[in-house]
Amino acid sequence: MDNRLPYLLTLLPPLPEPGEPLGITLAEAIGRLRQQGGRDLEALAEALEAEALLRESLEEWVLGPPGSRMVPAALPAPLRAHFDEARVASLAEDAWVDAVWKAWFDLVADAGRSSGSRLLPRWAAWESGLRQRLAANRGASRAESPPAGPDGDDAPDLGRLLAAWDTARERGREGKGLAAAMEAERLLEQGRLEFLDREAPRYSFTVDELAAYLLKLRLLERQRRQEPARGRELLRRAASL
């Protein structure tokens, strides 16, 4: 067993239930991870840290005019390569954004392989599949059949989660409004947490337990950042389908 992991996992406070105060931020947890040293843990830290920079860059490049858009130097090279004016101009916006996120999921999977994590490549594939299914379902009209999902062990799990999400979305169309849209989002977040719980049991003191902790903390932070404006955006998207 890697002696760094039991020590690090005992330094990290227990994660709360959704909606309760957090005892640590993701940035603080990554800082503690880096204190343990090692290229394997650094790769994990860089992959998770890159997401915030990636979101900022995507927003700037989607909203900003060509020629005025910058890319943070700290963004890892596999991601930075996608922020090229010629490449962006050659693709539809949705296709370009999908390619950028695929590159990030690939980065996380690579970090998992370099750190010996079985979880991270599986999580990256599962989360990427969920993202694709959500995009396909949002693009399908009500008269169409639900899009086919990916093959593999996790496809039934994704199918159940998408069915629950689609039911909540339908309630939003039927006039339930903001509450239904937020319920659909809550179901997705709960499904993500359950996937991590299933894939990485607690008290194993492995890199998978550490990775699951960080990914759960990422989700809990994101939930706390959600504001009424986010709910209104969810409602607008649900009502437009």
Q: What is the pLDDT of residues 65-101, one digit of tens each?
A: 988 898 888 899 999 999 999 999 999 999 999 999 9
User: What is the distance between the alpha carbons of residues 96 and 101, in angstroms, rounded to a whole number?
Assistant: 9
- Provide mean pLDDT across the span 32-41: 91
Residue 188: name the closest of 151, 238, 150 by CA: 238
- At 167-181, the pLDDT tens digits run 777 765 655 566 767
Domain boundaries, the chain: 117-142+150-241
- Residue in 105, 118, 241, 128 with CA at minimum distance from that of residue 184: 241
**Quick check: 34 pLDDT over 80?**
yes
DSSP state of 175: I
pLDDT value at residue 175: 54
Question: Are 54 and 65 a contacting pair, CB within 8 Å?
Answer: no
Number of Cβ within 10 Å of residue 224's Cβ equals 13
The helix (H) or strand (E) run that includes residue 47 is helix 39-63
Q: What is the pLDDT of residue 37?
A: 87
SS3 content of the chain, % helix, strand, coil (to 5): 70, 0, 30
Residue 140, pLDDT > 80, answer no
Residue 203 confidence class, pLDDT cut points 50, 70, 90: confident
DSSP state of 174: I
